[in-house]
Chain A
Amino acid sequence: MNLNTVKDLKRPKSADEIRQWRDGYAWLAGGTWLFSEQQVHVDTLIDLHTLKWPALTAGKDGLEIAATCRIAELYDFKPPKEWRSGPVIGECCRSFLSSFKIWNEATVGGNLCMSLPASPMVSLVVALEGILTLWPRDGAPREVLATNFVTGNHQNVLAPGELLRSIRLPAEALSKNFAFRRSSLTHLGRSAVLLIGTRAPAGDVILTVTAATAHPVQLRFKGSPSEAELRDAIDSAVPDSLWFDDVHGSPAHRRHLTYHFGEEIRKELEA
């Protein structure tokens, strides 16, 4: 839709050109959210495409994903075979309610910064132990663990004007075994729950719960938990108030699905 309140479009070659941040500014990546409805408080768009960040950089240390990397670009990425969790990337890309336009324009960073419970890029980077690089407007870059980035429904740690530059997925996390479960009321629709489990060669298990909760919850186990241990860990980590409640599922249903898929993942990783 037309954003009638926008008066200016900036196309910086470097993020440093935007030193002073003020109300009314908005970073523009894929525009999925910005152009979906009126943004009456926005008068200036700052286009990130002109920064020309390389979308994906794969190396022995892992995968660096630019915030401006499009979902379609990420989906096309072919991870090396030794990255046994590589297929999680495709699974998360397919966990979108996305039209052709969204698929080809929406960005990884945009989805992360929206910080919705069902944002599948949040699921991806949290499960694969990502580290986010943030560029404040008035200070040095800082790194944040993906588990700490999203703090609630539509809430995150970004300060006003702070820019998400990139996400690094460590090779160690990418090399783990994984199991993926998701439930949605419609095919390719918004997730009601999205769970990803990973298992290190030494046997340690990480279970990441997203979509079911207002922010991601990550459970870490030394070795493989028993069914009871897993359920206890879920109950301890997710208070009643954290289960998300919307038309895609009630808190009780989401808890039920989390138990169910968590147990399936536990068994699959044990096998």
Chain B
Amino acid sequence: MSQARRDSELIGAAVPRPDALGKVTGAAKYPADLVRADMVQLKAVFANRAHARILSVETSAALAHPGVLAVFTAADVPYNRFGLIDDDQPLLCDDKVRFVGDRVALVAAETVEAAEAAAKLVHVEYEDLPIVSEVRAAMASDAPLVHADRENNVLGHIRIRKGDVEAAFASADVVIEEEFSTSWQEHAYLQPDAGIAYYEGEKLVVETAGQWLHEDRRQIAKMLQLAEDDVVIRYAKIGGAFGGREDLIVQPLLALATWKLKRPSALVWNREESIVGHQKRHPYFIRSKWAANKDGKIVAAQTELLADGGAYASTSIEVLKGATVGASGTYEIENVASDGYVVYTNNVPCGAFRGFGLPQAQFAAESMVTRLAVSLGMDPIEFRKRNMYREGSLTATQTPLPQGVSALSVLERCSAEMEARFRTNGTVSPVFKRGVGMASGIKNVGYSFGFPDQATATVELYGEKEIDRVVLRIGAAECGQGAHLVMRQVCAATLDLPLERIELIAEDSHESPNAGSASASRMTFMGGRAVKDAATAALAKFPGSDAKATVQFRSAETTPLEPETGKGFPHFNYGYVSQAVEVEVDTATGLVRVLRIISVHDVGRAINKQQVEGQIEGCLAQAVGYALTENFQCRDGRILTPHFSNYLLPTTLDMPTDVYPVIMELADPNGPFGARGVAEMALVPFAAAVANAIHAATGAWVTQVPFTPERVLAAIAKTRSVEAVTA
């Protein structure tokens, strides 16, 4: 079979998922399915208070409970700090607790019942401290410190300056100012946090769900002061991640118990523990001031972004960088000034979540762009076209975009799809009103701001004259997105072999090389490219007894941002998206229903078309929840929505039946077979598209995500009062 023919069969085809049957029949083993009754059962003792000094931890009553083997506290952890970027989070709190989900002790017992009963017997004496729960208050110079070793609660400040915004505002034809806010978002992965740990010979094995085998290993080894080679991370089937499993959650608790007791251990969190215990999407408060001229040119964008980072750093600073750079959207603007701040509070910590700061920043940006167009009496699509990034455009960081800028092509395709598919727009009845809105988005693929992005894969070829068997090793997390099938497809197509001949070893940090995290929409691009290069190198040695190659693919280098101006080369690759939605607004109740969605993506090349469509549709479901129903609430550090009965995920019935994922394939010069990333893009502009549609339907601008009925009604009332005054 020719290479071209094999490519066409494997690349771009909707190759069925080999793991699908097991997942839908229940045969697949998720972390909680690995638990055995003879394992040591663990129960974490949560702080359940937002900010307090620990005066004492009394464990004797718990230890005396029948079946209890140990109660671990901070003193049992050799290096009691962890974190993806800053080691600022204790595994078990020692001096104080900083949010309700902090863990103070870990009970190990022979049974779940004993562990749960004993956990209630752990007595912690606290001295409550003032709670810092509001971002602006947390920034005040006299605010109580969440981390006593810091000068203030500001975790990071990103500053971008390009041109002269004040001069531009002074001479612009239209200047608009607005404030926006967004709420937390819960990842709500179907499989709550769980796992087991055990010894295999001398190696401590932790088998759970995560997004980066080798980073999990690094942090656990550091905490227990072990050599990295003495720790093995294995992933069972992963029931979704969406960024939520980038940080360690239950993994180090399992590792600690097994390391101390030298027995297998198990820990399964219920939904409430999972919601309270892991980080969220950041809430943002955004103040925007944008200006344009009558010729349809955006001349200035000024943005202040305040992010609630919660109690610990997680990836907050990187999320903030992404949001601040992305605050001017997909547009080349001569004058940009952005200041982003992320602040410690006693709220739930925030970190990575699909979109990584851009759904918040571009909700504001895309709302402002539509407002400018409306103010100038221009069609919002035409207005966007005049300002959108093109090949060679300078970003807000004063460097050109990487080659392959397809933003305009994507927008034009979206416009054409709208013409073809959206025909109604207007009043259905005096109460129910419909409108169409659109928005565009940009999202980086891969690591950024000088953090080197690299992925390693090993390909081993076996056979005499023909390749009988291929072993592909790549430590890449399969979170449900289909990465493993993509890796095998890329390998098979590169080697011109049937898919069945590719054996993949990907879920063991000891057996497979480091491909980096399944995050930043990077695995197909980075991992796929490493696989392709490794397969090509191995093939060059075949036939031969050593037809094996390990290749590390490194992306183009990015740079940190200059502190005063933000100048730099932040991202090496981007994905581009444009969306249109039609909504129906019940102007009496404020309820908004999304009726139809068009989501246009340049994916470079769809390695597996069905999976790409699945990514887009799944992402849109999460976006519908983000925009409309998922109203995560905290008050004084307490989480008010720790259940799915009060944290409202959209169900299939809340999704429109008319969802059109449109895939464009404008090949990327560096991606495997031209592929880019796609995983996060559909979330980036969606809230703005809905907001713009609500405006088209009602004339009201909504500024707070999610668009709850009350907020929509308030916006409509505000518009009517303005109209009355104007009249």
| A and B pair up | yes
Using CB atoms and an 8 Å cutoff, list the residues of chain A in contact with chain B.
1, 4-5, 37-38, 97, 183, 185-190, 192, 246-250, 252-253, 256-257, 260
Are A186 and B654 within 8 A (Cβ)? Answer: yes
B651 touches A188 (CB 8 A): yes
State whether B646 touches A246 (Cβ < 8 A).
yes
Whether the pair A249, B633 counts as a contact (CB closer than 8 A) is no
Stretch at the interface among B154-162, B257-265, B489-497, B708-716: B708-716
A97–B645 touching, CB < 8 Å: yes
* B contact face: mostly helix, strand, loop, or mixed: loop
B35 to chain A, nearest CB (A): 12
Residues of B within 8 Å of A, CB-based: how many? 27
Are A186 and B591 within 8 A (Cβ)?
no
CB contacts (< 8 Å) of A97 on chain B: these are 645
Task: Find the B residue at minimum CB distance from A260.
Answer: B588
Question: B640 contacts A247, CB within 8 Å?
Answer: yes
A91 to chain B, nearest CB (A): 16
User: Can you name 18 A-B pairs with beta carbons within 8 Å?
Assistant: A1-B270, A5-B113, A183-B589, A185-B591, A185-B709, A186-B629, A186-B653, A187-B651, A187-B653, A187-B654, A190-B645, A192-B709, A246-B646, A247-B633, A247-B641, A249-B709, A253-B590, A253-B709
| B270 lies within 8 A of A183 (CB) | no
Indicate whether B507 reaches chain A with its CB closer than 8 angstroms. no
Do the beta carbons of A4 and B646 come within 8 Å of each other?
A: no
A-B CB contacts (within 8 Å), total count: 54
A260 CA to B587 CA, complexed, in Å: 11
For residue A247, which residues in chain B have a CB less than 8 angstroms away from its CB? 631, 633, 640-641, 646-648
Q: How far is the CB of B584 from chain A (nearest CB, A)?
A: 13
Cβ contact within 8 Å between B648 and A189: yes
Contact call B113/A4, Cβ cutoff below 8 A: yes
Looking at chain A's contact residues, the main secondary structure is loop
A113 to B590, CA, bound (A): 32
**Chain B proximity of A83: nearest CB distance (Å):** 29
Residue of A nearest to B589 (CB): A183
Closest-by-CB residue of B relative to A250 is: B710
Establish whether residues B648 and A183, one from each chain, have CB atoms under 8 Å apart when the complex forms.
no
Q: Other than the known A247-B633, A252-B710, A253-B710, what 11 A-B pairs have Cβ atoms closer than 8 Å?
A: A4-B116, A5-B113, A183-B589, A185-B591, A185-B629, A188-B653, A189-B651, A247-B646, A248-B646, A253-B713, A256-B713
Q: Which of B642-685 contact A (CB under 8 A)?
A: 645-648, 650-651, 653-654
Nearest residue (CB) in A for B632 is A247
Contacts of A37 in B (CB 8 A): 270, 272
**Whole-angstrom distance between the alpha carbons of A260 and B713 in the complex?**
13
Which residues of chain B come closer than 8 Å to A260, judged between CB atoms? 588-589
When each residue 481-492 of chain B gets 1 if its CB lies under 8 Å from chain A and 0 otherwise, what string results? 000000000000
B585 at the interface (CB under 8 A from A): no
Q: How far is the CA of A97 from the CA of B654 in the complex (A)?
A: 13
For the complex of A and B, list the 3 residue pairs with the smallest distance between their C-beta atoms, beginning with the closest.
A187-B653, A4-B113, A253-B710
Inter-chain contacts of B641 with A (CB < 8 A): 247
CA of A5 to CA of B648 in the docked complex: distance in angstroms? 30
Which of B113, B589, B633, B651 has the most A CB atoms < 10 Å from its CB? B589
